[in-house]
Amino acid sequence: MNNPLILAIDTSCDDTSVAVLRGNKILSSEVSSQVEIHAKWGGVVPDIARREHEKNIPMVYEQALKKAKVNIEDIDYVASTYGPGLAIDLEVGLNFAKDLAIKNNKPFIPVNHMEGHLLSGLIGIDGKKSEEYFPALALLISGKHTEIVYVEKIGSYKKLGETLDDAVGEALDKVARMLDLGYPGGPVICEFAKKGKSGNISFTVPMKNSKDLNFSYSGLKTAALYKVKELREEGRKEKEWVYDFCRGFLDAIIESLKIKLESAIEQHNEVETLFVGGGVFNSEEILREIGKMARSYGLKFVFSEKEYRGDNSGMVGIAAYYKILRKEYLTLKEDIEKVDRNPRLSL
Ligand code: ZN
Tell me the Cα Rg of the chain: 21
What is the pLDDT, as a whole number, of residue 111?
98
Q: Could you tell me if residue 41 is inside a domain?
A: yes
Average pLDDT score over residue span 169-176:
95
Average pLDDT score over residue span 87-97:
97
What is the pLDDT, as a whole number, of residue 191?
96
Residues whose Cβ atom is located within 5 A of ion ligand 1: 142, 311
The alpha carbon of 153 and the centre of ligand 1 are apart by a number of angstroms equal to 21
Q: Could you tell me if residue 186 is inside a domain?
A: yes
CB atoms near residue 328 (< 10 Å): 13
Cα diameter, the chain? 68
The alpha carbon of 63 and the centre of ligand 1 are apart by a number of angstroms equal to 22
- Same-domain check for residues 56 and 84: yes
pLDDT one-digit tens code per residue, 23-35: 999 999 999 988 8
Torsion-angle region of residue 137: left (phi > 0), alpha (psi -120 to 50) or beta?
beta
The alpha carbon of 322 and the centre of ligand 1 are apart by a number of angstroms equal to 19
- Same-domain check for residues 327 and 285: no
288: Cα separation from own chain's centroid: 17
The alpha carbon of 316 and the centre of ligand 1 are apart by a number of angstroms equal to 10
Q: Could you tell me if residue 346 is inside a domain?
A: no
Average pLDDT score over residue span 132-160:
97
Question: What whole-number distance in Å separates Cα of residue 68 and Cα of residue 215?
Answer: 41
- Same-domain check for residues 182 and 316: no
Residue 93: band (very low, low, confident or very high) from pLDDT cuts 50, 70, 90: very high
- Same-domain check for residues 110 and 155: no
The alpha carbon of 225 and the centre of ligand 1 are apart by a number of angstroms equal to 26
The alpha carbon of 176 and the centre of ligand 1 are apart by a number of angstroms equal to 20
Average pLDDT score over residue span 311-333:
97
Q: Could you tell me if residue 58 is inside a domain?
A: yes
Average pLDDT score over residue span 284-309:
97
The alpha carbon of 238 and the centre of ligand 1 are apart by a number of angstroms equal to 33
The alpha carbon of 138 and the centre of ligand 1 are apart by a number of angstroms equal to 14
Sign of CA dihedral 155, 157, 163, 164: positive
State the pairing for strand pair 108-112/136-141: unpaired
Residue with the bigger pLDDT between 130 and 284: it is 284
CB hemisphere CA count around 346 (13 angstroms) = 10
The alpha carbon of 41 and the centre of ligand 1 are apart by a number of angstroms equal to 19
The alpha carbon of 50 and the centre of ligand 1 are apart by a number of angstroms equal to 16
The alpha carbon of 200 and the centre of ligand 1 are apart by a number of angstroms equal to 33
- Same-domain check for residues 66 and 89: yes
What is the pLDDT, as a whole number, of residue 40?
81
Q: Could you tell me if residue 343 is inside a domain?
A: no
Question: What whole-number distance in Å separates Cα of residue 273 and Cα of residue 135?
Answer: 7
What is the pLDDT, as a whole number, of residue 129?
79
The enclosing H or E element of 140 equals strand 136-141
Residue 148: band (very low, low, confident or very high) from pLDDT cuts 50, 70, 90: very high
- Same-domain check for residues 161 and 239: yes
Domain with 198 in it: what CATH number?
3.30.420.40
- Same-domain check for residues 215 and 95: no
Q: Could you tell me if residue 169 is inside a domain?
A: yes
- Same-domain check for residues 173 and 265: yes
The alpha carbon of 85 and the centre of ligand 1 are apart by a number of angstroms equal to 8
Q: Could you tell me if residue 323 is inside a domain?
A: yes
With a pLDDT cut of 90, the percent of the chain lying above it is: 92
- Same-domain check for residues 108 and 246: no
Q: Could you tell me if residue 345 is inside a domain?
A: no
The alpha carbon of 90 and the centre of ligand 1 are apart by a number of angstroms equal to 12
What is the pLDDT, as a whole number, of residue 1?
67
Q: In what order do the strands lie in the sheet with 136-141?
A: 156-162, 146-153, 136-141, 273-277, 300-302
pLDDT one-digit tens code per residue, 202-257: 999 999 999 999 999 999 999 999 999 999 999 989 999 999 999 999 999 999 99
- Same-domain check for residues 169 and 111: no
The alpha carbon of 236 and the centre of ligand 1 are apart by a number of angstroms equal to 38
The alpha carbon of 232 and the centre of ligand 1 are apart by a number of angstroms equal to 34
Q: What is the pTM of this model?
A: 0.96
- Same-domain check for residues 297 and 314: no
The alpha carbon of 130 and the centre of ligand 1 are apart by a number of angstroms equal to 22
What is the pLDDT, as a whole number, of residue 131?
83
- Same-domain check for residues 172 and 313: no
Number of domains the chain contains = 2
Domain hosting residue 43, numbered range: 5-123+308-338
What is the pLDDT, as a whole number, of residue 184?
87
Q: Is the pLDDT of residue 44 over 90?
A: no
The alpha carbon of 84 and the centre of ligand 1 are apart by a number of angstroms equal to 8
